[in-house]
Structure 1
Amino acid sequence: MTDLDVNTLRDAYDARLRAAVPDPVPPGVSVERDGPLIRIRGLDHGGFLTYRTLDGLTGADLDALIARQRALFTELDEPVEWKLHGHDEPADLADRLRAAGFEPEEQETVVIGPVAPLADTLPVPPDGVRLREVTARADLDRIVAMTEVVWNEPRGWLADGLEKEIAADPKALTVVVAEAGQSDDAPDGEVVSAGWIRYVPGSGFATLWGGSTLPEWRHRGIYRSLVAYRARLASVRGCTMLQVDASDASRPILQRLGFVAVTTTTPYVYTP
């Protein structure tokens, strides 16, 4: 795919990514269907609900579908996220989710860009920073420590989830850290940023995640270098497109790199 028309990209995103689930899944994770919904349970930070389309459900039938998810996760005493997109139908879906107790979190923008030009860009981090692929739990814990500083909240579930994904299928994702301050006493230095890439089999897509950077290390090109590095990994895997759920901070950077905004996404979270 070379056409960067918004509608074409959004259609490809809907068809190839929205209903995609990892296979195999980590131990303890289950994938279930409830009508048009794909329900993923057993994740370290709660359940997840996704779908390509709701197949025209409206009114009482849609309310019943939402109520079943609420009832199930109330019984499990676990939070669950309904991933709502800006172009989803019906138009009153957000209102119905709120009425059922699902609360919206921060909206992000779905952006898509071609792999090839990014893969041709040499990832050049600033002086004193190196990029390194990691799999060890100790490195995942260092990523958590960095993100907890950035977001000022506990994020231990992140290391648990990444560790389980790597164990279930080490070829399904790659985790990359940006480290600074290496020395003889601290050969790995300090993790100042990190991102990972998931490869979606049969879709032509890879998806980018993470990208949090310590405040004192921002605006130095680290985020851009992580994007270029992961684009090269995607190219090696034969992926042609990259997709990101971009925050307001990262979206302008990605658009300057050639990504196109195709829709928005908002997590609606129900917490028993």
Structure 2
Amino acid sequence: MTDTDGLLAAYDEQMRGAPPTPPAGVVHERDGALLRIVGQHRGFVSGPRDLGVDGAELDRLIVRQRDYFAARGEAVEWKTRAHDRPAGIADRLAAAGFVPEERETVMAGVVRELAAEPVLPEGVVLRRVTGDGDMRRVAALETAVWGQDMGFIAEDLIGRVAAAPDEIAVLTAEAGGEVVCAAWLVFREGTRFASLWGGSTLPAWRGRGVYRALVAARAGLATARGVEYLHVDASDDSAPILRRLGFHALTTTTPYVWSPPGQS
């Protein structure tokens, strides 16, 4: 039986700090226990399970992050988890003008239990891609699936591959030259984890095993690197599939986003 409490403790210890190698132009900063990432499509803020501050001091910490990115004219995401302390941080973020986005489930699985030969529908081929043009095709897929401009994903992936090609693997599932699903695997040296991202599938191709095949393929890559666990922040659509594949729910995560006036 998987020790989910132990997995959550390992996640808290190993997966909440700064990623190893930022892309060019991306900077990691600290404000106390808080990690602040600057230079992405929007700012990002995260911290350990317990920030170590509360009350007026926590309010000041929140306002400092908001005002820092306001001075840059940028939105900022503060990533919360359901088991974080202090317990009232969500209310304090809302009071400072942060708005919650969709809640996701933080899940983890044991790699050796997840790796399998990818099974793809007839006519679908799997590719590992590294070129700038392919990253733009991935972003175009994300834009089509989510109905909003996701072009920043291309720039993010291009920057990651350029900065540390061994820390990311981007996969596409293609049919007739069209990208029908795309996903990437991010390695984190010095930890026991790698993370699954993306996994968006065109509506016409859902329910046909393409998403599951990309999970299996990434688990295989993780196995080859000696990774023990896979982590994913799963949407409500993906979480049931991942549970069936052997992932375990650890907690939930909700991004709280502040945007400058006039930006959505």
TM-score range, shorter chain: over 0.9
Q: Which residue of 1 aligns with 2:16?
A: 18
| Residues 132-151 of structure 1: pairs in structure 2 closer than 5 A | 132-151=127-146
Q: What is the CA-CA distance between 1:80 and the residue it aligns to?
A: 0.7
**1:24-71 Cα distance to aligned partner (Å, 9 max, x none):** 32111111100110101001x111111113443110010010010011
Q: Which residue of 2 aligns with 1:186?
A: none
Structure 1 stretches of at least 4 aligned residues deviating more than 6 Å after TM superposition: none
1:103 correspondence with 2:91: no
Q: 2:45 aligns with which of 41, 44, 49?
A: 49
Q: Secondary structure of 2:24's match? A: coil
Q: Distance in 2 between matches of 1:159 and 1:225?
A: 22
Q: What is the CA-CA distance between 1:168 and the residue it aligns to?
A: 0.4
1:113 correspondence with 2:106: no
**1:194-220 Cα distance to aligned partner (Å, 9 max, x none):** 000000111110000000000000000
| Residues 253-268 of structure 1: pairs in structure 2 closer than 5 A | 253-268=241-256
**1:115-156 Cα distance to aligned partner (Å, 9 max, x none):** 01222x111111110110001111111111111111010011
Contact 1:110–1:263 (8 Å) recurs in 2: yes
Q: 1:163 aligns with which of 133, 151, 158?
A: 158
**1:74-108 Cα distance to aligned partner (Å, 9 max, x none):** 10110111000010111111000000011000000
Q: Secondary structure of 2:165's match? A: coil
Q: Secondary structure of 1:48's match? A: strand
Contact 1:37–1:54 (8 Å) recurs in 2: no
- What percent of counterpart residues are identical? 53
Q: Which residue of 2 aligns with 1:184?
A: none
AA in 2 matched with 1:253: I
Q: What is the CA-CA distance between 1:22 and the residue it aligns to?
A: 2.6
Q: Which residue of 2 aligns with 1:7?
A: 5
AA in 1 matched with 2:152: W
Q: Distance in 2 between matches of 1:31 and 1:161?
A: 15
Contact 2:20–2:189 (8 Å) recurs in 1: no
Q: 1:36 aligns with which of 33, 49, 61?
A: 33
AA in 1 matched with 2:128: E
Q: 2:174 aligns with which of 170, 179, 197?
A: 179
AA in 2 matched with 1:175: V
Q: Secondary structure of 1:63's match? A: helix
Q: Which residue of 2 aligns with 1:27?
A: 24
Q: Distance in 1 between matches of 2:79 and 2:113?
A: 30
| Residues 147-226 of structure 1: pairs in structure 2 closer than 5 A | 147-181=142-176, 189-226=177-214
Count of residues in correspondence between the two structures? 260
Q: 1:247 aligns with which of 229, 235, 239?
A: 235
Q: Distance in 2 between matches of 1:224 and 1:24?
A: 28
Q: Distance in 2 between matches of 1:8 and 1:253?
A: 23
Q: Secondary structure of 2:64's match? A: helix
Q: Distance in 1 between matches of 2:12 and 2:51?
A: 13
Q: What is the CA-CA distance between 1:160 and the residue it aligns to?
A: 0.4
Q: Distance in 2 between matches of 1:176 and 1:149?
A: 17
1:87 correspondence with 2:83: yes
AA in 2 matched with 1:26: P
Q: Distance in 2 between matches of 1:110 and 1:53?
A: 14
**1:206-262 Cα distance to aligned partner (Å, 9 max, x none):** 000000000000000000000000001001111010000000000000000110000
Q: Distance in 1 between matches of 2:228 and 2:50?
A: 28
